[in-house]
Chain A
């Protein structure tokens, strides 16, 4: 393991991306992800990389599309309102089967919202966001270490499955500092025979495209893409379980909400309540299996979110509503307190006694 350093989450993403061989970054200023762009602006010129502050988020994501077409690793980052603007480009990137990384350090919404942490882009990230049938691989770090580790993983998965990946963080994760051990530089290259790099007059031309005027052709393309999505669901679903072995109350939370929930679970255990935590690390693909398994064992689920309740729908679907699912939520940029979660655990535990 490399020596631990103290870094802000936003900076950890930037450094990890560079170490993963990403030498192209395009962005547009927005709080609370500014440190990421600032880090790239400082580092890229020194290592022969490209940092470009685009004229808009729309331009930035389309620059990403251009680089992704050449097969090189590329990323952009923004926060909620900016990520809304990027949705057009994200849909095109998905439709052209290109790998790329989009980082969303979420803030409260809708509209201009607030600049404080939020998880209210869950639907946008997991259920489309842009138009058409597609998915992103969505990774949700809950520590600065994971900000780095999941960034590297996101590039690898995006390349492997030829699809865009999103790192869905929040303002807390971006702004906080924790000791982090940065991954060694390693760019896992995969063959990209589809890339546009010039034919060199040695092969037929490659076309990066998402337009299929023949409906049958588009349908076949989408079906093939969804076959790949099935592979992703089978191979790349990630989650962490904490004290779930004998749990009677399952708290489900990701990112900062999972950190808060872990405190609450510990506090509940001290009171003799058998609480546990399922922390999705990917929210697409969503960890349906551990929730389905828990549904046969626990009394109740609690979904803890920094939103009006978005992931709760996936928890209900995965558990097939076999057990009650309640919501602990704060929104607008406010983080639920461990006590708020603990109260909900007590209620769920007591309710069936």
Chain B
């Protein structure tokens, strides 16, 4: 199975980081994968996006132009990529920041107030992790088992105190019934 994921949002929302966490989890599960960021000035406050491909076969092009799953962290990202999602694909919407509904009718949509959920647990910047939890739940691309080991690889020892919080946010997103 191959899952092509596109995560998009504002710079600073942790879009690349969420992609990295997902990629590391894939690595721990022995999957083939690629992680490709948008790069350049747009990383500073503009739109940022990141392509992650998880597969059982070697990954061809690392560029995701027609995602199986889109994680939209803000309105411009939904506007830009809604049309690109594969028919039958999935769109995860942070409904705290995106007020409108998805117009497509041929995709599955999960609305979750990720920013609010993260804020309620005292860490509003972890909306990306909440979205990641939901992604794990709905995509079957990676599993929850062994999540902490993978997260340890991404979160440096210097910030070890954040590990627990991140994992908690992922679990929150995983448990949310959208």
Contacts and interface: CB of A to CB of B under 8 A. Distances in A.
Interface in B1-52: 20, 23-24, 27, 32-37, 39-40
A260 to B, nearest CB: 4
A263 interface: yes
B178 to A, nearest CB: 29
Interface of B: 20, 23-24, 27, 32-37, 39-40, 59-63, 65, 153
B35 A176 contact: yes
Nearest to B34: A178
Interface in A2-16: 4-6
A: contact size bracket: 20 to 34
Contact of B20 (A177, A179, A338): A177
Interface of chain A, main secondary structure: mixed
A259 B39 CA distance: 19
Given A175-B36, A178-B34, A263 B24 contact: no
Contact of A177 (B35, B60, B63, B65): B35
Given A31-B40, A177-B20, A179-B27, A262 B61 contact: yes
A171 B61 contact: no
Interface of A: 4-6, 31-32, 115-116, 171-172, 175-179, 256, 259-260, 262-263, 266, 335, 337-338
A172 B60 contact: no
A179 B31 CA distance: 9
A263 B60 contact: yes
B40 A262 contact: no
15 contacts: A6-B24, A6-B27, A6-B153, A116-B40, A177-B20, A178-B33, A259-B61, A259-B62, A260-B60, A262-B60, A262-B61, A263-B60, A263-B61, A266-B60, A338-B60
Nearest to A4: B27
Nearest to B31: A179
A331 to B, nearest CB: 16
B37 A175 contact: yes
Nearest to A116: B40
A172 B36 contact: yes
Contacts of A178: 33-35, 59, 62
Contacts of B60: 259-260, 262-263, 266, 338
Contacts of A266: 60
Q: State the 3 A-B residue pairs at the shortest beta-carbon distance, nearest first.
A: A263-B60, A177-B35, A260-B61
